[in-house]
């Protein structure tokens, strides 16, 4: 006769086994046709989701792809969804909406950028296309309100127009800890939070300014071009402390590797131009003094890569932001600014042919 404790253990084992059998992701490689099994094994062993998998494209039927979409192997699910999104026989919108909760991580091929890690849901969203803006809006709504832990939720905020109903969700995304990226230092995932801060800044609410400033100050040494785009698009006098701190701590540490192009070497999180443009649009007495300081420092600074280009960018930024605060500074740089203006090649717009795209428009996550 079983003792009460033994009986409890047995019941727990039965419950666990029962749960495993009824798991959403229950198809094993052995459940697929023999002709397909070697290729599925190869995909799992390789461990990377490729841009296109010829075996699935040539051998897998639609019903087999659907079963692979609930395979016990996340990489098979991701590979299957990519193939489904390439077939007109599937309703792509339904695929996206039914699998927004697949948070298993997979490695994906990123060409010259190496290997990226994504959740299966993120991979679906980044690979998908929507036929209409209405369909995409429905997906965005679900992601922001129900699945805003996904990285794609953060990425969407850079291009999303501010809508009041999303304000509390975006504010939460901007302020809660983000710990998904093991390469991000002591507070993981700040690169994602920057997108949330940008989305929050769009509402132009005064109480949000201090939240944004605090977060930027806490991570001032790792700001990217996203943060400087925020400071450029939504300037506020409160943000000057952020710009001043970045100038003191980070600006002159530029390694020469800009983040906007692939060099083969680790890039800085922001280019000097990102900071300079964000500073110049402030158009205040404080920003004028800091720009003047930079002109002096850059002229005598020997260790900064591409110093002449950066110095020219400061001159151009001042010249392109005429305002009372920059009046004396503009007189100081006028000869250099006019010299740089002459060097720019301008093509009359009426000589440039306008190409009209007549192809059907597809809506992607980034656009």
pLDDT for 6: 54
Dump pLDDT digits (tens) for 61-82.
999 999 999 999 999 999 999 9
Tell which wins on pLDDT, 299 or 286.
Answer: 286
- Cα(5)–Cα(161) distance, integer angstroms: 58
What's the chain's average pLDDT? 87
Average pLDDT over residues 208-220: 97
- Cα(293)–Cα(338) distance, integer angstroms: 21
Query: Sorting pLDDT into bands at 50, 70 and 90, what band is 2?
Result: very low
Average pLDDT over residues 239-267: 85
Angle at 310 between CA 305 and CA 312, to 5 degrees: 140
Query: Sorting pLDDT into bands at 50, 70 and 90, what band is 189?
Result: confident
Torsions phi, psi for 167 (to 5 deg): -55, -50
Buried b (16+ CB within 10 A) or exposed e, 179-195: eeeeebeeebbbbbbbb
pLDDT for 367: 66
| Residue-range domain boundaries for the chain | 22-130
- Cα(282)–Cα(42) distance, integer angstroms: 55
Q: Inform me whether the pLDDT recorded for 232 exceeds 50.
A: yes
0.95 exceeded by pTM: no
- Cα(157)–Cα(366) distance, integer angstroms: 10
């Amino acid at each position: 006769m079983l003792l009460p404790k033994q009986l409890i253990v047995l019941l727990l084992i039965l419950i666990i086994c029962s749960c495993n059998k009824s798991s959403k992701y229950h198809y094993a490689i052995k459940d697929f046709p023999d002709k397909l099994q070697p290729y599925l094994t190869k995909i799992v062993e390789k461990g990377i989701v490729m841009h296109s998998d010829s075996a699935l494209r040539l051998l897998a039927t639609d019903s087999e792809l659907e079963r692979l979409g609930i395979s016990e192997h996340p990489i098979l699910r991701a590979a299957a969804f990519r193939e489904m999104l390439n077939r007109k026989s599937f309703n792509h919108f339904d695929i996206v909406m039914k699998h927004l909760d697949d948070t298993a991580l997979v490695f994906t091929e990123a060409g010259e950028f190496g290997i990226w890690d994504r959740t299966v849901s993120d991979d679906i969203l980044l690979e998908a296309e929507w036929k209409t803006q209405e369909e995409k809006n429905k997906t965005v709504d679900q992601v922001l309100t129900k699945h805003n832990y996904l990285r794609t939720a953060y990425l969407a905020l850079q291009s999303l127009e501010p809508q009041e109903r999303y304000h509390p969700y975006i504010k939460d995304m901007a302020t809660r800890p983000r710990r998904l990226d093991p390469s991000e230092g002591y507070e993981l995932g700040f690169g994602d939070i920057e997108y949330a801060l940008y989305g929050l800044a769009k509402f132009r609410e005064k109480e949000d300014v201090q939240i944004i400033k605090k977060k930027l100050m806490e991570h001032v040494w790792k700001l990217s071009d996203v943060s400087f785009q925020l400071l450029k698009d939504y300037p506020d006098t409160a943000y000057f402390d952020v710009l001043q701190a970045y100038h003191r701590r980070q600006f002159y540490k530029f390694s020469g590797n800009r983040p906007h192009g692939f060099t083969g070497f680790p890039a800085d999180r922001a280019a000097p131009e990102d900071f300079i443009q964000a500073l110049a649009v402030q158009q205040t007495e404080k920003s004028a003094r800091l720009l003047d300081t930079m002109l002096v420092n850059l002229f005598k600074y020997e260790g900064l890569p591409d110093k002449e280009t950066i110095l020219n960018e400061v001159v151009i930024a001042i010249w392109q932001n005429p305002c009372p605060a920059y009046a004396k500074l503009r007189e100081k740089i006028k000869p250099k600014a006019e010299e740089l203006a002459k060097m720019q090649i301008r093509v009359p717009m009426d000589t440039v042919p306008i190409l009209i795209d007549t192809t059907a428009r597809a809506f992607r996550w980034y656009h």
